[in-house]
């Protein structure tokens, strides 16, 4: 029997690569999708997708857009609006949800999917950065777990599988260092969006590419790993592999490294998730990571990265702190890409967000609404700071 899947973020970088794999995978039946505002993509997709089983769709459009799509595809239920993604996940007859939405917008569908006991294949790291404690509560109640799609976290999962229960000394996450590796903050004062979007190894969407340039993405990945694998994010070692050949590794107590090695392409991690975390192809054992052919390791001190340290500070503050920081970062990145603020203001916005009010876990107000309110308030504060004239 085919596994019924809902694909969120179908028109994005991860979503389109997932569709490449799903087109050749008869074990899945795609029953629902979400797209952003790329309505031409959606119309072409619904007209040409090999299966006719798609019944539930979310689009970021107007009531007029919904009416037009309903007339074109009368057998499909369409959703829109801020709560629409949650309603889509609730109503869609899918047992598996692949969340490839970018940013905080992906948190609500992850939360709903976990509260319903659906299997979550997760590429939306913000779901765990913002509300990892909340989502893990839901997963535990349903005896479910997340299957990660981020290349670093899929690598950790594969390495743990290959370890076979052997004692672990530490987790090692890799990064390319981005386009500004070894640059000082003073050297980044005049960085342009074009320069920041020139990632040395990966082809990704604009938001995550800027996050890779600032290294906020790496900080978020540490928190994501913490919630996925039950470890302290600050205990994870960060190493720079300029070629992005080693995705992540673990060091065993006996001094052996297990490392996931492969190309800078997301088809592998997506395929691993679609296999529901089976197998650990690409994992090698070695006594010296630097001996792996094709690697280019360089020294890196995470304590010298303001982005990583700000994220870890937000994690230690707990509650809604990282919801505020994530929102501030998203807004600042958007303004930077529009050339309305300088590159260094992204760090300033994140730092400012940690002074915003925090609702802690255990507070009667704690929950999805508190996280959503923190997100909205932080966005408004950042836009007011940088766009309103004094």
Give per-residue pLDDT as tens, 308-321: 999 999 999 999 99
- Given this model, what pLDDT does residue 285 score? 96
pLDDT of residue 32 exceeding 80, the answer is yes
Name the nearest CA neighbour of 136 among 146, 147, 150.
146
pLDDT of residue 204 exceeding 80, the answer is no
Mean pLDDT throughout 2-17? 95
Q: Which pLDDT tens digit goes with each residue over 215-272?
A: 999 999 999 999 999 999 999 999 988 777 899 999 999 999 999 998 878 899 999 9
- Cα–Cα dist 182/178, whole Å: 10
Q: Which residues contact 105 (CB under 8 A, 6 or more apart)?
A: 85
Q: Would you call 148 helix, strand, or coil by DSSP?
A: strand
pLDDT of residue 23 exceeding 70, the answer is yes
pLDDT of residue 90 exceeding 80, the answer is yes
- Cα–Cα dist 62/59, whole Å: 9
The average confidence (pLDDT) of the chain is: 93
- Given this model, what pLDDT does residue 390 score? 62
138: its two tokens: 């839901």
Q: Is the pTM of this model over 0.85?
A: yes
Residue 260 · residue 139 · CB < 8 Å:
no
- Given this model, what pLDDT does residue 155 score? 95
- Cα–Cα dist 48/19, whole Å: 12
- Given this model, what pLDDT does residue 111 score? 97
Percent of the chain with pLDDT over 70: 99
Q: Scanning the structure block, which residue is given the tokens 């492969």?
A: 262
- For the chain, list the domains and their CATH numbers: 3-144 (3.40.50.720), 151-302 (no CATH), 318-387 (1.10.1740.10)
The count of C-alpha atoms lying within 13 angstroms of the C-alpha of 19, restricted to the half-sphere facing its C-beta, is 24
- Given this model, what pLDDT does residue 180 score? 87
């Amino acid at each position: 029997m085919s596994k019924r899947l809902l694909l969120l973020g179908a028109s994005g970088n991860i979503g389109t690569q997932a569709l490449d794999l799903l087109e050749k995978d008869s074990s899945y039946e795609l029953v629902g999708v979400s797209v952003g505002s790329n309505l031409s993509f959606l119309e072409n997709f619904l007209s040409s997708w090999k299966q006719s089983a798609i019944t539930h769709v979310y689009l970021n459009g107007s009531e007029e857009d919904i009416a037009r799509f309903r007339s074109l595809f009368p057998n499909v239920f369409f959703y829109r609006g801020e709560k629409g993604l949650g309603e889509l996940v609730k109503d869609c007859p899918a047992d598996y949800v692949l969340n490839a939405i970018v940013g905080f917008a992906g948190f609500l569908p992850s939360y709903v999917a976990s509260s319903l006991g659906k299997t979550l294949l997760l590429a939306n790291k913000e779901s765990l950065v913002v509300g990892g404690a909340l989502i893990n509560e839901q997963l535990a109640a349903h005896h479910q777990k997340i299957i990660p799609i981020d290349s670093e976290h899929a690598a950790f999962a594969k390495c743990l599988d290959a370890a076979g229960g052997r004692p672990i000394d530490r987790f090692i996450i890799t990064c390319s260092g981005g386009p500004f590796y070894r640059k000082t903050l003073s050297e980044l004062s005049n960085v342009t969006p074009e320069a920041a979007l020139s990632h040395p190894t990966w082809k990704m969407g604009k938001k995550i590419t800027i996050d890779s340039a600032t290294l906020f993405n790496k900080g978020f990945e540490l928190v994501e790993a913490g919630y996925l694998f039950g470890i302290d994010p600050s205990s994870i070692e960060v190493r720079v592999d300029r070629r992005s050949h080693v995705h992540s590794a673990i060091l065993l107590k006996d001094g052996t490294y297990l490392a996931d090695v492969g190309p800078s392409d997301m088809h592998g991690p997506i395929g691993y998730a679609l296999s529901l975390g089976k197998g650990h192809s690409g994992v090698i054992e070695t006594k010296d990571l630097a001996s792996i052919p094709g690697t280019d390791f360089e020294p890196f001190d995470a304590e010298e990265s303001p982005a990583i340290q700000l994220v870890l500070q937000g994690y230690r503050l707990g509650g809604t702190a990282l919801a505020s920081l994530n929102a501030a970062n998203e807004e600042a990145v958007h303004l930077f890409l529009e050339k309305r603020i300088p590159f260094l203001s992204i760090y300033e916005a994140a730092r400012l967000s940690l002074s915003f009010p925090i609702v802690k876990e255990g507070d009667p107000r704690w929950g999805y609404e508190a996280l959503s309110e923190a997100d909205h308030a932080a966005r408004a504060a950042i836009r007011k700071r940088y766009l309103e004239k004094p």
